[in-house]
Amino acid sequence: ENFLHKTSAPFFPNSHDAFISPNTLNLSSFTKLMKKLKEIHPEASRDRIVDALLEVRKNNKGVLSGLSIDSIVKRTSAIL
C-alpha cells in the first residue's frame, strides 16, 4: 500500500497536470489533420474543412476517436 502511494505520486503530482497531456495530444492530431486536409483541398476554407469534420463526427455517433487519421481524411474528403 505504501509502495503504491510512493511510486504513483511522482507521475501525478496534482490533478491539473493529469489533464494537460490529452488536450495537447488532441490539438496536435487536429493540427496534423487540418494540414493534411488543406494540402488535399487547397480550395476549401478552414471553416469549410471544420464543418466537414463536424459532419464526419456526427455521422460516426458523435465521436472521431477510434477512427484513424487516414479514415477521417477519406471521410472528410468525400464530404468536401
Predicted confidence at residue 78, as pLDDT, reads: 97
Q: Which tens digits make up the pLDDT trace of 36-75?
A: 999 999 999 999 999 999 999 999 999 888 889 899 999 9
Q: What is the pTM of this model?
A: 0.66
Residues in CB range of 32: below 8 A, 6 or more apart: 69
Q: Which tens digits make up the pLDDT trace of 10-26?
A: 444 444 444 443 444 46
Residues in CB range of 56: below 8 A, 6 or more apart: 64, 72, 75, 76, 79
